[in-house]
Amino acid sequence: MKRITTVFAIISIFAIAGCGGRQKQAEKDSSAGTKTQERIVRSPGRGIVQEKRKFPVTVNYDLTIEQAVAAGTYFSVDPDLTSKQFPRTRRGVESVDIALVCFADEVGSDAAARELEGFSFRSANVRELLAFGATYPKFQEENSIMALEGSPDGRKGLRLYGSPGERNVTLYWGDTTFPDECFSAVSSARSRLRKTAPP
């Protein structure tokens, strides 16, 4: 029995390391989301996934990308982050809980999307992640967070990152691996977002 307990403790430590040290520091800030019950699960082919926090966010899907970026007052923004690349596909204002999911080992964007789906999550989209950055600016200064949403020119999604006093937004190409990133996700079981064609 003692041996089994020791093995589980080692696995738990490994999972926490996989989420990145910056997130651990952010957990000390009570304003950085709502602490959820720590959940450690095995993901086939990917070892350990640890979900540590959920963040209530109000998302205005009526905003253009340019308006959503302006609301976040970011320090630097990828010039290709435009409404042309990411047109509106949903309308209205919705409240969503964004969870941060970290993988214990490096994982590409395509594989991450499959893994999230296996845990009844979908990736947060670009507008949801921009709303997250606007709502939790201090958390972004200490963490790197991804949203998976493809664009017509082949980009795979959006990345928020920063440093003290500075917050940045960039797009990325290809099936890049991320050794110290968290993926933003929304529970697909609870996601009831109204979809309409853009005007």
Q: Mean of the pLDDT values across residues 19-48?
A: 45
For residue 66, give the H/E element and its range: helix 65-72
Q: Check residue 2 and give its pLDDT.
A: 38
Tell whether the model's pLDDT for residue 192 goes beyond 60: no
Q: What is the pLDDT of residue 68?
A: 95
Of all residues in the chain, what percent carry a pLDDT higher than 70? 63
Q: Give residue 197's pLDDT.
A: 37
CA distances, 25 to each of 22, 51, 53, 116, 167 (Å):
5, 15, 13, 24, 17
* pLDDT of the residue at 39: 47
pTM exceeding 0.85: no
Give the bridge partners for 35, in sequence order: 53
Distance CA 115, CA 64 (A): 29
Across residues 183-190, what is the average pLDDT?
78
Residue-wise pLDDT for 134-161, tens only, equals: 999 999 998 899 898 876 566 678 999 9
Percent of the chain with pLDDT over 90: 35
**pLDDT for position 191:** 46
Question: Tell me, what's the pLDDT at 136?
Answer: 95
pLDDT at 154: 61
Mean pLDDT of the chain: 73
| pLDDT: which is higher, 93 or 13 | 93
178 has pLDDT over 50: yes
Under the banding of pLDDT at 50, 70 and 90, the label for residue 181 is: confident
Q: pLDDT tens digit string along 74-123? A: 999 999 999 988 888 889 999 999 998 887 777 888 888 888 888 888 89
In the 3-class helix/strand/coil scheme, how is 90-132 assigned residue by residue?
ECCEEEEEEEEEEECCCCEHHHHHHHHHHCCEEECCHHHHHHH
